[in-house]
Amino acid sequence: MKNKVIFMSFGILIFFSTFTYAAGRKIVPGDIIFTAPVKSVIFSHEIHVNKEHISCNICHSTIFNTRALNLQKNKNFNMKSFCKGRYCGVCHNGKIAFSVKTQCARCHIGVRGFERSDRAVKIPKMSSFMPKNALKFGTGNFEAVFSHKKHIGVHCNNCHTKIFPFKYTVGSITMNAIKNGQYCGKCHNGKIAFSAINCLICHSKLSKQNRHTAKH
Amino acid sequence: MITKMERREFLKLGLAITGVSVGGGFLSVVSNLKGAFASTEEYRKKYPYKPHYTMLIRQNRCIDCGECMKECVKTNNVPGYGYRTTILERYEKNAIGLKREFIPMLCMQCNNPPCVRACPVEATYKDKRTGIVRMHYEKCIGCKTCILACPYDARYFNDERHAIDKCDFCFDARLSKGMKLPACAKVCPTKARVFGDLSNPNDEVFRIVHQMQKAVWVLRPEVGTKPNVFYTTSDREVSDEK
């Protein structure tokens, strides 16, 4: 009996410790492998987010567009502008992180590095790291639901971080503001997407229980 | 208390370990300066090369972009199964910070070339004027003895030519036509490959090889080939280069 209790408590301990460990790690996009102007340079989200604990907001979308490989089409996306403190050079200047002028092969993985890497991770899939659960705004029966899954055709750039920050905040999102074309109303104006007058699509709890009160 | 016998064993062991670190290491620190100086001082009188073509590789600059290999294939019609120049890669999992290094490789144009000694028909020879190890393609019988003799794996058998082919610093394709640089040194985006003349005291390569502040090394110095391709590192910014 005593042995059983000890065994079970160990089991619970292990279960919770793994659970909290998994909860502490963020699900991140895969590695981005740039192929221009030289082949090839690796950027690891895993290292920057889970090891160095850098928030998405620091780079996106002020320094880096969330459309990863769009960047390498820029003419000034090269070592010269990094050295002047643009792009990676914002942090990699020898003060915040190691300078771009040193340790070349830390990021440059070369032609063989490109071939070795899994092709699937070269352009990260958005669905792999966006929040799985629907975001909830408001309380009680007036709760509105936003699902990332249903917005999968929309690129991150369209909302983040111009309209919404990456971090979940309710802030001053009101129906009045939305009707005036702020927040959700930027798209949900009846032209780009369905109008915000269709309450029940987002306020789904209303539709089940208080359908009558909502109509009036 | 250490007995005489044990002491002897211990000394033997010590010797063996030094032997390994000097003999087996790709990057041997011990004979840096000797390797660098031997090539000029000892051999200058013996082989009066003018110009004494040489290449200095600033190893930490190499990013394995593959431009040199691409340009070499284009210039010298190198088939897909062989190479005249390549880039080796070393990955140290437990290194601090930088974990990867790239080592560009080509024919070392040795002053004491084992391939020339091995060739039974004198198809490969050390050029008396420039010091480049070159090929008489029509003389080669394709016995591949030189491939075995070469400690740097710098030779391959070319089926189309039915002869051994190797790097000649682009002598046939470029230098003999009046161009100053081999194809690889010309296209290198980080200027990791510096081509120069070791008989000219004003040359950049001469000045770097004959200084003592910064390590200059050659690959596999223990085989005694006296290479003319030197390796070093560079702290200068790439954007500072002309």
- Tokens representing B18? 């030094």
Residue B57, strand partner residues: B193, B231
CB B217 within 8 A of CB B33: no
The whole-number pLDDT of residue B50 equals 83
A152 touches chain B (CB under 8 A): no
B-chain CB neighbours of A112 within 8 Å are 64, 89
CA A181-A187-A189 angle, 5° bins: 60
A78: nearest Cα among A41, A29, A129: A41
Give the helix, strand, coil percentages of chain B, each rounded to 5. Answer: 30, 15, 50
Q: Is residue A33 predicted with pLDDT exceeding 90?
A: no
Asked whether residue A172 carries a pLDDT value surpassing 50, the answer given is: yes
* Cα distance between residue B184 and residue B86, in whole Å: 10
Going by pLDDT thresholds of 50, 70 and 90, the confidence category of residue B150 is: very high
User: Cα(A178)–Cα(A189) distance, rounded to whole angstroms?
Assistant: 9
A130-215 architecture in CATH? Alpha-Beta Complex (3.90)
Cβ <8 Å between B63 and A108: yes
The answer to whether A138 contacts chain B (CB < 8 Å) is no
Mutate to test the interface with B, among A92, A93, A109, A111 (most CBs of B within 10 A): A111
Sole residue written with tokens 């991770």: A121
Does A83 contact B at CB distance below 8 Å?
yes
Other Cβ atoms closer than 10 A to A171: 10
**Cβ–Cβ gap B100/A106 under 8 Å:** yes
Preferred mutation among A33, A104, A109 to probe B, highest tally of B CBs within 10 A: A104
Residue B101: which H helix or E strand, with range?
Answer: strand B100-105
> What's the pLDDT band for A117 if we cut at 50, 70, 90?
confident
Question: What pLDDT is attached to residue B47?
Answer: 64
Residues of A in contact with B59 (CB under 8 A): none
| Cβ-defined contact of B100 to A38 (cutoff 8 Å) | no
Contacts of B64 in chain A (CB under 8 A): 105, 108-113
Q: Given a cut of 80, is residue B156 above it in pLDDT?
A: yes
Task: Decide if A213 contacts A142 (C-beta within 8 A).
Answer: no
**Per-residue model confidence (pLDDT) at position B163:** 94
**What per-residue confidence (pLDDT) applies to B124?**
95
Instruction: Determine the distance from the C-alpha atom of residue A183 to the mean position of all C-alpha atoms in its chain, rounded to a whole number.
Output: 18
Under 8 Å between Cβ of B50 and B58: no
Q: Which comes out higher in pLDDT, residue B40 or B155?
A: B155
Chain B residues touching A109 at Cβ < 8 A: 64, 100
From B8, B32, B13, B12, select the one nearest B22 (Cα to Cα).
Answer: B32
The CATH code for residues A32-125 is 3.90.10.10
User: Which phi and psi (to 5°) does residue B135 adopt?
Assistant: -125, 140
Query: Which of B64, B69, B236 to mutate to test binding with chain A, by most A CBs within 10 Å of its CB?
Result: B64
Q: What end-to-end distance do the CA atoms of chain B give, in Å?
A: 64
User: Cβ separation of A80 and B98 shorter than 8 Å?
Assistant: no
Domain ranges in chain A?
A: 32-125, 130-215
- What integer pLDDT is reported at residue A161 of this predicted model? 74
- Chain A CA closest to residue B192: A104
Q: Would you place residue B242 in the very low, low, confident or very high pLDDT band (cuts 50, 70, 90)?
A: low
Helix (H), strand (E) at residue A175 = helix A175-179
pLDDT over 70, % of chain B: 79
- Map residue B133 onto helix, strand or coil: strand
Rounded average pLDDT over B119-126: 94
Residues facing residue B230 across a β-bridge: B56
For B90-106, the pLDDT digits (tens) are 899 998 888 889 999 99
- Is the pLDDT reported for residue B193 higher than 90? yes
Residue A160's DSSP bridge partners are A164
Is the CB of A98 less than 8 angstroms away from the CB of B189? no
What pLDDT is recorded for position B58? 93
Q: What is the DSSP letter of A41?
A: E
**What pLDDT does residue A18 have?**
46
* Residue B71 near residue B173 (C-beta atoms within 8 A): no
The structure tokens listed for A188 are 């949900």
- If you measure CA to CA, which chain B residue comes closest to A35? B65
pLDDT of B198:
85
Residue A151's identity, in one-letter code, is H
| Domains of chain B from N-terminus onward | 28-235 (3.30.70.20)
pLDDT tens-digit map of B37-77: 545 555 556 667 888 899 999 999 999 999 999 999 999 99
More confident residue, B207 or A7: B207
Find out whether B64 and A113 touch, Cβ atoms under 8 Å: yes
From the list A104, A110, A111, the residue facing B60 with the nearest CB is A104
> Predicted confidence band at B1 (pLDDT cuts at 50, 70, 90)?
very low
Could you tell me which residues are beta bridge partners of residue A135? A146
Q: Which residues of B touch A79 (CB under 8 A)?
A: 238-239
Which residue has better confidence, A11 or A162? Answer: A162
Tokens, residue B234: 């560079």
Helix locations, B119-236, DSSP H = 145-149, 183-187, 204-209
Of B61, B64, B189, the CB nearest to A112: B64
ipTM associated with this complex: 0.71
Q: What is the pLDDT of residue B185?
A: 94
Alpha-carbon gap, residue A159 to A183, rounded angstroms: 9
**Cβ neighbours of A98 in B, within 8 Å:** 97
pLDDT at B108 over 90: yes
Distance in Å, alpha carbon of A100 to nearest chain B alpha carbon: 10
Q: Which of A120, A110, A150 is nearest to A132 (CA)?
A: A150
Give the closest-approach CA distance of B235 to chain A in angstroms: 8
HSE-CB at A12 with a 13 A cutoff on CA atoms is 6
Give pLDDT, residue A14: 54
Name the 3-class secondary structure at A144: strand
List CB contacts of A89: < 8 A, sequence separation 6 or more.
A81, A82, A83, A100
> Is A38:B65 a contact under the CB 8 Å cutoff?
yes
Indicate yes or no: CB of A110 within 8 angstroms of CB of B190: no
Chain-chain contact of A38 with B61 (C-beta, under 8 angstroms): no
Angstrom CA distances, A163 to A27, A70, A133, A159, B118, stand at 22, 21, 20, 5, 73
What 3-state class would DSSP assign to A164? strand
User: Would you call B239 an interface residue with chain A, using a CB distance cutoff of 8 Å?
Assistant: yes
Q: A32-125 with A130-215: one CATH topology?
A: yes
Is A16 a residue whose pLDDT tops 60? no
Residue B33 has pLDDT above 60, yes or no: no
A86 near B CB under 8 A: no
